[in-house]
Amino acid sequence: MPEQLWITQFLNSFLAGPVTALLRSLHIEPHHPQAPITNSVAMQILVVAFLVLVFAIVRSRLSVDSPRALQHIFEGAQGFVEGQSHEIIGAHSEGFTPFLMALGLFILISNLIGLIPGFESPTAVSTVPLGCAICAFIYYNYHGLKHSGLAYFKHFVGPLPALAPLMIPIEIISHLARVMSLTIRLYANMFAGDMVTLAFFSLIPLLLPVGFLGLHIFVSFLQAYIFLLLTTVYLSGAVAEEH
């Protein structure tokens, strides 16, 4: 039985039976039927629940005349994402803002939550960054097809039909490499940050780790931004007019 966080134990105590039954109905046998929910899954559930709660609070207190601090924060974040996507993608980029905001905030909170004692960063587990990368991959390719139809696949062929046998494998590998790049960059940085922070806290539990906590916070914001930036760049390429 793997070590479980308190929230993982809590979820498994109520949901182990239904989750195990669901997995078996999908012909997936859990490694631990009595505890099928892992720490990373439990932390993702917590992050999503936290974001939904915060969104509900902000929505219930929206005000034009006297906006509160939390509204200012989210309006600033939305303005930043919209401005960046407009610069990279161009006109009509506002439709991508909800997805980009949700993805960026999920990654950011997942990165930061590991700083709270008793919690872990789900992005320090490779499957979570991989899931985010696959979502980004599906999203930008979907919008590429939606924008250009079957003509979207022309850029896989290359400038000349004669080059198609060479270009198609290269383009496919290039797009799949984006998933790997997004995954490894986020996972490696968050895993390394968690390990360094834990190591220094176990050795010197007072002043020195504070600097590493600050570094961890900086890396958390930076990696969320890089993931969001690259996703926006891939979106730009997918919906470019030449497609």
Angle of CA points 169, 174, 175, to nearest 5°: 105
Q: Mean of the pLDDT values across residues 1-15?
A: 88
What's the pLDDT score for residue 168? Answer: 85
pLDDT reading at 206 higher than 80: no
Query: Could you give the CA distance from residue 114 to residue 107 in angstroms, rounded to a whole number?
Result: 12
Cβ pair 85, 234 in contact under 8 A = no
The per-residue pLDDT for 202 is 66
The CB density around residue 93, as the number of other CB atoms within 10 Å, is: 21
Q: What's the average model confidence in pLDDT over 225-239?
A: 94
* pLDDT digits 0-9 by tens, 154-188: 877 767 777 778 888 888 899 999 999 999 999 99
* pLDDT tops 70 at residue 145: yes
Query: Does pLDDT of 241 surpass 70?
Result: no
Note the pLDDT tens digit of each residue in 71-130.
889 889 999 999 999 999 987 888 999 999 999 999 999 999 988 888 999 999 999 999
If pLDDT is split at 50, 70 and 90, which confidence band does 59 have?
Answer: confident
Q: Which two tokens stand for residue 163?
A: 């080059």
With 70 as the cut, is the pLDDT of residue 42 above it? yes
Q: What is the mean pLDDT of the chain?
A: 87
